[in-house]
Amino acid sequence: MWKEASGRKKLGWVVATIVMSYGVVVFVLTTVWYHDQMVESFHFFNDLAEWKQLDKVAHAFWTFNVCVFVCRILRWSGLKENIPIGALIGFLIVSTIEVMDGFSAGYGASLFDLIANALGGTLFFVQHKIWGRIKLFNKFSFHFTSFAALRPSLLGDGFLQEIIKDYNGQTFWYSWSLEKKWWPSFLSIAVGLGAEGMVFGRDEQNALHHFSPYRKFYLSLDLNPNFFQSKKTWAQVMIYPLTLFKCPAPAIEFSTQGVRFHWLYF
């Protein structure tokens, strides 16, 4: 009887946490992203050609990691079948943001965003079904660029806005440990995707203002979160950022501008 009451109490805390977290996300986006957007009737918008598709990579990243977060707290509550439920809730949380886009005069709901959300949730779900855990982590890193100052209303003004809006400084990583005897188990190989030169969303808009956007790919090293796993709650909280953020490390950049080596890339 006590265990059932304790389980219900935990589940109540989980539901409250999910609702509060979603509220925080909506508040931040409303404050940072949508605060200067006019509201109009709901509509769709084809944005596939924008931002070198890096915004789609961002959608997949956010969905993947929201699924991770939701499943963690569902597991803590004692819910055994937490993977499919967590994947579905994660997808719905990120996808409902499209509703705000749909009412925004500057944007619109995007079918391609929804597809990217589904891919992020699928990457999470399939790994658990195949391996019973995550081996390929979807991570994020950010560095300031000079482009945000050229158009702060779109690319952000200050850290909180720029980390969300400035795709020029965002890099999305897929971090994988080789799991070989000769490979250090605490290290992963990370492949990153980014872009630069984007002051406007579309290539033709940038060209009119003499900007030349281009995609960038990276090869780097990262810390393997699975190596640092612990059963202690406090340790899990400390380790959690390793599953979300790419560790700064040397990196090789590949692009149409050539090959460039970074001693320490963020």
Look at residues 102, 133, 164 and tell me which one is the last residue of a structural domain.
133
Q: Name the band, by pLDDT with cuts 50, 70 and 90, for residue 260.
A: very high
Q: Could you write out the DSSP letters of every residue in 47-109?
A: -TTSGGGHHHHHHHHHHHHHHHHHHHHHHHTT-SSHHHHHHHHHHHHHHTHHHHHHTBTT--B
Cβ neighbours of residue 216 under 8 Å, at least 6 residues apart? 171, 192, 193, 194, 195, 196, 253, 254, 255
Query: Both 175 and 223 in a single domain?
Result: yes
Q: Name the band, by pLDDT with cuts 50, 70 and 90, for residue 171.
A: very high
pLDDT for res 135 = 96
- Residue-averaged pLDDT of the chain: 89
Query: Both 76 and 158 in a single domain?
Result: no
Query: Both 146 and 126 in a single domain?
Result: no
Query: Both 144 and 88 in a single domain?
Result: no
Q: Token pair for residue 237?
A: 């909280």
Residue 3 has pLDDT above 50, yes or no: no
CB 73 within 8 A of CB 17: yes
pLDDT for res 97 = 80
Query: Both 171 and 224 in a single domain?
Result: yes
Convert the pLDDT of each residue in 191-207 to its tens digit. Answer: 999 999 999 999 999 99
Query: Both 60 and 120 in a single domain?
Result: yes
Query: Both 6 and 110 in a single domain?
Result: yes
Q: Which residues of 107-129 are buried (b: 16+ CB within 10 A; e: fewer)?
A: bbbbebbbebbbbbbbbbbebbe
Convert the pLDDT of each residue in 83-117 to its tens digit. Answer: 998 899 999 989 988 878 888 777 788 999 999 99
Query: Both 161 and 203 in a single domain?
Result: yes
Query: Both 19 and 122 in a single domain?
Result: yes
Query: Both 146 and 215 in a single domain?
Result: yes
Q: Token pair for residue 93?
A: 């949380």
> Number of C-alpha atoms within 13 angstroms, CB side, residue 17?
15
Look at residues 103, 133, 163 and tell me which one is the last residue of a structural domain.
133
> Where in the sequence is the domain holding 21, given as residue range(s)?
1-133
Residue 121 has pLDDT above 50, yes or no: yes
Q: Which of 14-23, 91-100, 186-195 has the lowest mean pLDDT?
A: 14-23
Residue 161 has pLDDT above 60, yes or no: yes
Query: Both 186 and 252 in a single domain?
Result: yes
Look at residues 106, 133, 160 and tell me which one is the last residue of a structural domain.
133
**Nearest in space to 34 (alpha carbons), one of 96, 93, 101:** 101
Classify residue 196 by burial, with Cβ atoms within 10 Å: 0-12, 13-18, 19+: buried
Number of domains forming the structure of the chain: 2
Query: Both 231 and 158 in a single domain?
Result: yes
- pTM reported for the whole predicted model: 0.88
